[in-house]
Structure 1
C-alpha cells in the first residue's frame, strides 16, 4: 500500500494527491493517514508546495464524498444495507456500519458531517446518512469542506514535522496511527459535551 501511494504521488504530483484522496473516500481501506503525511514529506523536500498539496487533498476528498452521498440519496438505507451485507467485505463496510452512521447523523444533524470528517473510520460513512436523510447538497459540501480542510492540513503538517525530525516515511503509520485516534477521541468527546451543554441550556 505504501509503495503504491508513493509511486502514484511521485508520478502524478498534485493530481496524484487528489486522485488518492478521492479513492480513499470510495474505498475506506486506503488511509488518508498515509497519503497526506507523504505530501508533507514531499513538501519538506522542496518538491511540492503546501497550499496546492492541501487544495488537491481537499478537492479529492470532497469529490470522493459525493458518490456515497448520492448512493444514500438514491438507494436509501435498506437497499444500501443489503448491498453492504452482500459486497461490503470488499471495502470494509457493513450494514451495521451504515446503521451506526445513520443513527449518529439523526442525533446530531448537520454538525455530524463536519465532525465526521475529522474522525478516522467515520469520514467516508458520514456521507451516506447525509444522503439518506435528504441533507441539502450545499450545506453538505460546506460542512464537508470545512472539516476536510482541518483534517488534511493536520495530516500534511504532521508529515512535514516528521520529515523535519529526519523520521522515515515508513514510520508514519506507527506515529500517526495512535495520534489520529487520540485526536478523534478528543473531538468526539468535545462534541458530545457541547451537545449535552446545549441540551441543558434548552431545558
Structure 2
C-alpha cells in the first residue's frame, strides 16, 4: 500500500525535483503514520499543518483520500479525523490569541513603525463585526485558514461559535481534498495545482495591500510634517491681514 501511494505522488511531482523531494518526505511520513494508527494519523498531520502552514494540507488530505480509496480505512473516518485535526490545530492558535489578548496586542502594534492606534481600533472593530464570516470562509483559504484563529482569540470570540464555524469551514475544505484523492487517485494533483495557484494569488494580493498601506502611510506622514513646517494646507504660511488697522 505504501509503495503504491508513494509511486503516485512521485509521478505527480516528477517535473520538479525539489517539489518531488518535499512531497515524498511528507507522503512517506504520513502514509506510514496512517498505516500504524489509521485515520488518526491524518488528523495529527492536519493539526500540525494548522500550526505550521508550510506543511501543505493540499498534499496531506488527498493522501488520506487515496488511502481510504484503497481500503486502508473507511472514507468517513478520514473526513472525521481530518476535521478533528483541523479543530485541534485551530484551537491551539486560538488560545495563543487569547493569551496575547487585546491589551498586549495593542501594546505591540503601538510600537510598530507606521502603525497608529486608530489602525488597531479599526481592525478590532472590523473583526467584531465580520469575525463570523472571516473565521468560516478563512478556513477555505490557504494561509488564512491557519492564521485566522489568532485574531479570533485576541478579540475573545465565543468558543462555541468559534468551534462551530471552524468545524463547518474545515469540513468543507477537507472534504474537497480528501474526495479529490479518493476519486482522482494518482491524479489528485489537479486540485492541488488549482489550490497552489489560489495561494499564489492570495500572497500577491496581500503583498500589494501591504505595500499600498506603507506607501500611503509614508505619504501621509510626510504631508503632515510639511504642513506643520509651513503652517498651511497649501504649503505656504498664512500672511496676516493688516488692512484697515
**Same structural fold, with TM-score higher than 0.5 when normalized by the shorter chain:** yes
Within a 5 Å distance, the mapping from 1:114-129 to structure 2 comes to 114-129=136-151
The number of equivalent residue pairs is 162
Secondary structure in structure 1 of the residue aligned to 2:144? coil
- State the 1:182 CA deviation: 6.1
- Which of structures 1 and 2 has the bigger CA Rg? 2
Match of 1:179 among 191, 194, 201: 194
What corresponds to 1:33 in structure 2?
58
Question: Matched residues in 1 for 2:198 and 2:182: separation?
Answer: 18
Match of 1:144 among 141, 166, 169: 166
Match of 1:51 among 73, 76, 83: 76
What corresponds to 2:130 in structure 1?
108
What corresponds to 1:15 in structure 2?
40
What corresponds to 1:89 in structure 2?
none
Question: Matched residues in 2 for 1:82 and 1:34: separation?
Answer: 38
Question: Matched residues in 1 for 2:88 and 2:170: separation?
Answer: 11
- State the 1:20 CA deviation: 0.7
TM-score, reference length from structure 2 = 0.59
Question: Matched residues in 2 for 1:178 and 1:113: separation?
Answer: 24
Which residues of structure 2 form unaligned runs of 5+? Answer: 1-25, 109-119, 202-245
The change in CA–CA distance for 1:139 and 1:29 in structure 2 (over 3 A counts) is same
Note the alpha carbon deviations across 1:52-80, whole angstroms, 9 max, x for none: 11000001110111111011111136857
The change in CA–CA distance for 1:125 and 1:3 in structure 2 (over 3 A counts) is same
The change in CA–CA distance for 1:134 and 1:4 in structure 2 (over 3 A counts) is same
Question: Matched residues in 1 for 2:27 and 2:105: separation?
Answer: 30
Mapped pair 1:134 → 2:156: yes
| Greater RCO, CA 8 A, separation 6+ | 1
The change in CA–CA distance for 1:125 and 1:78 in structure 2 (over 3 A counts) is farther
TM-score, reference length from structure 1 = 0.70
State the Cα RMSD in Å: 2.8
Q: Indicate if the aligned counterparts of 2:38 and 2:72 stay in contact, CA closer than 8 A.
A: no
